[in-house]
Structure 1
Amino acid sequence: MNTNTKLPTNKLYLILFSCALIIFITSLETMFRVKDVMLYNHWVEANQLIGDKAQLLNDYISINLSVFFSKIIIPVLFAIYTYYAYIKIRINHLYVFIWTVLNLGGLAYTVVELRLDSVFYYINILGYVMLLLTLLSLIDVIREDKSK
């Protein structure tokens, strides 16, 4: 008796698309943030930083890239694991539970930023909502497969 369910192809594509959307939008947002001189100047003024301009710029870029990495690590790992689950290991309720919790954490991390003036903020939230709805819809697929 197989306790694991095969991930449907259409759900795989929705999950991969949602993860790709989140990664792409976060990448664009980080690129614009790092390249915008006004945002850099505002960061220096808001934190009342003084010192070597080159070192401050390196710190600004490093901070933004660290935040970028922490934002995309969950969607990247989820996409890779989901593809591997589709090919080899299948899915079950534990898969849905663990990844729902992790993606809710990623959504919360995004929502807490409160960048209400950025279109990237809203698209990122949309990507997470789409991802979570697809993930939760897998519960019905698993139940249906178990009843067979």
Structure 2
Amino acid sequence: MKLLVVNGPNLNMLGKRDRNVYGNFTYDDLVRMIEDWAKRNGVEVEVFQSNHEGEIIDRLHRLDFDGLVINPGAFTHYSYAIRDALEIVKVPKVEVHISNIHGREEFRRKSVTAEVCDGQISGLGAYGYILALEYVRKVSSESSK
């Protein structure tokens, strides 16, 4: 089983962004946490990050994964192109946000991508990724039986 974690714009700057919103961990800490989870669970995981919409779409279009966790970053709020790419992806998928997007500025409260995902986890910090990975692993393994 291969799971894909996609991180959008500015997530590579974790640790440098507002720590009151995003916490004290760095992007490397996040990747390490995800890779450690994968190793403990015997799952292959690829962590992909891009600040460019087209690169994210191209990665999704490869369709070489069994489950998806995506934090589209700011693309969450307006990228119908990523939304359409997600709609093509027919595997379990969860949108994740480190901060609670529903408790922030008005423009951050709307997600155009969540409606084509199985669910959304928001506001649980880096732990949200683990919850999302657990879900996609479980559902992916059940659907492959």
State the TM-score bracket (shorter-chain normalisation).
under 0.3
- Asked which structure has the greater CA Rg, the reply is 1
Which structure: greater strand fraction? Answer: 2
